[in-house]
A and B are shown apart, each in its own frame.
Chain A
Amino acid sequence: TQLLEQSPQFLSIQEGENLTVYCNSSSVFSSLQWYRQEPGEGPVLLVTVVTGGEVKKLKRLTFQFGDARKDSSLHITAAQPGDTGLYLCAGEYNFNKFYFGSGTKLNVKP
């Protein structure tokens, strides 16, 4: 049983399209992080959200933390080939204990 469910598992889109990926759990997070992992590399932190309802923007990426702190979404506007990668969410359940989801594999075609 996975504590964090990410959807979709795979997403292939054309350059310029918008997309949203989701991270869901039945448990409450103290905080949640999103990472992007490119092939052959380790994950790189994109953002940390802490407060329920919080929205953070990073250029074309918008991250939202659910009001109940059980879910999160990542929206990408006008996707580019450089956005290609595995997007991982990681939820903090107890102090400094993070559990990762399986990720969404995004492919943006030129």
Chain B
Amino acid sequence: ETGVTQTPRHLVMGMTNKKSLKCEQHLGHNAMYWYKQSAKKPLELMFVYSLEERVENNSVPSRFSPECPNSSHLFLHLHTLQPEDSALYLCASSQDGRARGKGYTFGSGTRLTVV
């Protein structure tokens, strides 16, 4: 039990579909993150939320839309994705927006395949 739960674990979607990824943490952390992990590439930071406000958006295409309704939940809404968006999407949380020290706590990820 990592403390960060992601659903679904696997998702296959067509390019015209709309789907959402969900992330939940009950660690009392107040910062949450979406990362994209592709084969042979570094983890790419997509979005950062601190105290439910988006504080970072790393030039992510608008077909990815995050939502943070409260400090325990984070969503990533997906629409009209491309095959190159296929990857492992990782959610993470940290305390007080400072990942130094205790680091990030990651979920197990959602393996997304766009067909």
Interface residues of A (CB under 8 A from B): 2-4, 9, 30-31, 33, 35, 40-45, 48, 50, 88, 90, 92, 95-96, 98-103
Contact A31 B106 (CB under 8 A): no
Min Cβ gap A102→B in Å is 5
**Chain B interfacial positions (CB closer than 8 Å to A):** 2, 4, 40-43, 45, 90, 92, 97-109
- Minimum C-beta distance from A106 to chain B (A): 15
Pick from A3, A35, A50, A88: contact of B100, CB under 8 Å: A50
CA distance in complex: A98, B107 (Å): 17
Q: Specify the main secondary structure of chain B where it touches its partner.
A: loop
Query: How many whole Å from A17's CB to the nearest CB in chain B?
Result: 24
Q: How far is the CB of B52 from chain A (nearest CB, A)?
A: 17
Contact A96 B42, CB 8 Å, known A40-B108, A41-B108, A45-B104: no
Contact A102 B99 (CB under 8 A): no
